[in-house]
Amino acid sequence: MRVPFVDLQSQYLSIAPEIDAAIKEVATSGHYLQNLQIKKFENAFAAKLGLDHCVGLSNGTDALLLILKALGIKAGDEVLTPAFSWISSASVISLLGAKPVLVDVDPDYFTIDLKKAEALISPRTKALIAVHLFGQTGDLPQIKNFGDEHNLFFIEDCAQAHFSQFDGVLAGTLGQASAFSFYPTKNLGAMGDAGCAVSKDEELATRIRRLANHGGLTKNEHLTLGYNSRMDEIQAAILRVKLQHIEAWNEQRVANAKLYRHALANIEEIQLPHLRPKAQHTYHQFVIKVKERDQLKQYLEESGIATDIHYPLAIPFEPAYAFLNARRDDFPVAYQLQHEVLSLPIVPEVSQEQILYVCKTIQDFYRK
Ligand SMILES: *Cc1c(COP(=O)(O)O)cnc(C)c1O
């Protein structure tokens, strides 16, 4: 049996008539940017989150960059962000000339460790980017309070947490602004790059919209310097179709996770993902921790099972951040995680039979 890690083709085929019609509608309309589709998607996405403002953008990284820029983050400022994540939440801070203050994470939940963050606050600290890694949020009210107490902007990186919740609060609705990615493999994915920023704050949303469109809302308006960072009409049309399926897909991920938990429960060498009390996980990734990670990964591969590592290097240990001279003792949890995490196939398209085969193969590995 073969088990792919993701299967975007099957996802497309399951809704092909809807997607084809959406693409054709855009193609025949002759409007490929800044028209009806983007407005409809922005409204639909904001409404599903219960927010008033969504700005469609070219990707999730730009969403983070433009949020920070719109909040006025600049050279000399410091921004707290987790040391163990995809690189974007740190790189955008650096690209604005500000300083990413990387904070070690919680070993069980993979989210920023607020106690360690507290110790790193300085008079220059202006903002905190929380990343809801792998589909599970941190304690949202606690993070928001932390931000309020220290007078920081609170930004949620929801690239891996579409419609995740904490205590009934949807990820992306508590921050000053939040970034979403619609990279093809995200829980809600476009057929190319796309992302968005959401906010309750109309003025902030307008600043982000201007920054994404050469500094203005209309073609020849340039009130500030800006970027070209818009979502295009075809991606917006595709995403609006897929938005109608996201609950079902997220539910399937949760069901897949249950199956893994049940079938792997008695392998003591494996640490299953911890569920944070009150959090509703959407399993962008199903990440186990194992000491003999590389051997297990290879064994699975030889058995036809694709897995992935999120992430093989924590941000402070990336070559791009070599100038930080980070030592493993500075980020003990992130350092350990980079050697122990293994992501198993969890996408909605993976069958029950395939998951049971993955679990049986893992059992075989430990009985060798
Ligand atoms: C994917 C991702 C991003 C970046 O999104 P892109 O659309 O690929 O630019 C940012 N943060 C996290 C946590 C991500 O997983």
3-state helix/strand/coil string of the chain: CCECCCCHHHHHHHCHHHHHHHHHHHHHHCCCECCHHHHHHHHHHHHHHCCCEEEEECCHHHHHHHHHHHCCCCCCCEEEEECCCCCHHHHHHHHCCCEEEEECECCCCCCECHHHHHHCCCCCEEEEEEECHHHCCCCHHHHHHHHHHCCCEEEEECCCCCCCEECCEECCCCCCEEEEECCCCCCCCCCCCCEEEEECCHHHHHHHHHHCECCCCCCCCCCCCCCECECEHHHHHHHHHHHCCHHHHHHHHHHHHHHHHHHHCCCCCCECCCCCCCEECCCCCEEEECCCHHHHHHHHHHCCECCECCCCCCHHHCHHHHHHCCCHHHCHHHHHHHHHEEEECCCCCCCHHHHHHHHHHHHHHHHC
Ligand 1 neighbour 60 (Cβ under 6 A): yes
Give the pairing type, strands 195-199 and 177-181.
antiparallel
- CA-nearest residue for atom 14, ligand 1, is 159
Task: Indicate which atom in ligand 1 lies nearest the CA of residue 63.
Answer: 9
Cα separation, 360 vs 265, in Å, equals: 12
Structure tokens at 19: 């997607």
Task: Report the predicted TM-score, pTM, of the whole model to 2 decimal places.
Answer: 0.98
Ligand 1 neighbour 159 (Cβ under 6 A): yes
pLDDT of residue 368: 63
pLDDT of residue 51: 98
CA nearest neighbour of 261 among 318, 346, 338: 346
Give phi and psi for 340, each to the nearest 5: -115, -15
b/e map 1-12, b = 16+ CB within 10 Å: eebbbbbeeebe
Ligand 1 neighbour 110 (Cβ under 6 A): no
Cα separation, 348 vs 162, in Å, equals: 14
How far apart are the CA of 324 and the centre of ligand 1, in A?
22
Task: Indicate which atom in ligand 1 lies nearest the CA of residue 195.
Answer: 7
CA nearest neighbour of 111 among 67, 91, 154, 81: 81
pLDDT of residue 22: 98
Q: Tokens 């690189």: give the residue.
A: 87
Task: Indicate which atom in ligand 1 lies nearest the CA of residue 88.
Answer: 10
pLDDT of residue 209: 98
263 CB contacts (<8 Å, ≥6 apart)?
A: 355, 356, 359, 360
Tens place of pLDDT per residue across the chain (368 aa): 999 999 999 999 999 999 999 999 999 999 999 999 999 999 999 999 999 999 999 999 999 999 999 999 999 999 999 999 999 999 999 999 999 999 999 999 999 999 999 999 999 999 999 999 999 999 999 999 999 999 999 999 999 999 999 999 999 999 999 999 999 999 999 999 999 999 999 999 999 999 999 999 998 999 999 999 999 999 999 999 999 999 999 999 999 999 999 999 999 999 999 999 999 999 999 999 999 999 999 999 999 999 999 999 999 999 999 999 999 999 999 999 999 999 999 999 999 999 999 999 999 999 86
Cα separation, 149 vs 142, in Å, equals: 10
Ligand 1 neighbour 157 (Cβ under 6 A): yes
Cα separation, 230 vs 228, in Å, equals: 6
Ligand 1 neighbour 91 (Cβ under 6 A): no
Site to probe by mutation for ligand 1, drawn from 92, 183, 186 as the one with most ligand atoms within 8 Å of Cβ, is 183
How far apart are the CA of 349 and the centre of ligand 1, in A?
22
Cα separation, 118 vs 122, in Å, equals: 9
Structure tokens at 339: 């050697």
State the burial class of residue 347 (Cβ atoms within 10 Å of its Cβ: 0-12, 13-18, 19+).
buried
Task: Indicate which atom in ligand 1 lies nearest the CA of residue 64.
Answer: 10
Residue 64 near residue 204 (C-beta atoms within 8 A): no
Cα separation, 121 vs 289, in Å, equals: 30
- Dihedral sign for Cα 81, 93, 126, 162, please: negative
Cα separation, 260 vs 95, in Å, equals: 40
Ligand 1 neighbour 315 (Cβ under 6 A): no
pLDDT of residue 171: 98
